[in-house]
Amino acid sequence: MKVLTWNIRRAGAARKGLWDVLWREAPDIALLQELSGLPEWVPDRYHVHQVKPRYFSGRRAPFANAVLCRWPLDTAPFLRSHLDWVNDIHRERDGWLLECRTRLDDGARIRLVSVHSPAFPIPAETLKNVDIAPIKLDRNPDLWFTEVLWSLLGSRTNVNGENWIVAGDFNSSLLFDRPVDRCNWQIAKRMNELGLTDCLSQSRGQPVATFRHSGGTVRHQIDYCYVNRPLLDRLNRVRVLDRADVFDRADPLSDHLPIICEFD
């Protein structure tokens, strides 16, 4: 099974080079962020679930987040926090965390969560009369969608017999904690404590830069493919595409590198 996650920077059907990569790689499952349109061949090849995320202003984003899957998708929601106000944010600002289930040919069940954590915090006015202390990061003044995700995941990912893939653009990097500690390390620690491991940094023994800043620097890993132990034990290979193939083109494919994981 091959899984790809990629923030495609609002790519539509016209960005042919990007879709050529998807065709060539032929992932069984693709979790895409910032999708503006699909070429005609994609719905013929994949089951597609896509939602335009809703901003806190109430309007929908001009792009969608999506899951493409070779197997049929069950899109009934399953993420739920013990905190009602977290569930309200997830329901009312839907599309940032896209959840669905699938079942492989051998009967194995997989829960998929495509993550697009916004680069902005949850507005303070949304959190009036709410005690955010139970999920807030220790030394960060704001509340982010990564904390909403953590609360929604709860302890379900430790359940044996189910495979979990939680992947996408987290907009969080360990290097964001330098020189001021804003607890990005805590986001990763919380995921690990849920029994989820990032395939890419685990395989390399350190973070791997996946994002090119507007100034041209490539320093931060903000994209991740977290899986639980049953899948981690079957991980055979993980890679990102060469920067030159994505960034150093007359028509860059994206400002993110895709992460590609292959499981036995």
Which mean pLDDT values do the consecutive 10-residue runs of the chain (264 residues) have? 98 98 98 98 98 97 98 97 96 97 95 97 94 97 98 79 94 96 97 96 97 96 97 97 97 98 96
How far apart are the C-alpha atoms of 67 and 86, rounded to whole Å?
A: 23
pLDDT of res. 159: 61
- The amino acid occupying position 217 is T
> Which residues on adjacent β-strands are paired with residue 263?
235
CB atoms within 10 A of CB 155: 9
**Sequence-separated (6 or more) residues with CB below 8 Å from residue 100:** 49, 67, 69, 73, 74, 75, 111, 112
The pLDDT, as a whole number, for residue 202 is 97
pLDDT, position 156:
74
How much is the pLDDT for 78? Answer: 95
Q: Are 221 and 208 in contact (CB under 8 A)?
A: yes
Give the pLDDT confidence score for residue 155 in this predicted structure: 73
CA atoms within 13 A on the CB side of 94: 12
pLDDT of 162 reads 85
Both tokens of 249, joined, read 């083109």
Contact 35, 68 (CB under 8 A): no
Q: What angle do CA 164, 170, 175 make, to 5 degrees?
A: 125
Rounded Cα gap, residues 205 and 226, in angstroms: 15
pLDDT score recorded for residue 160: 60
In the chain, the N- to C-terminal Cα span, in Å, equals 7
What local confidence, expressed as pLDDT, does residue 25 receive?
98
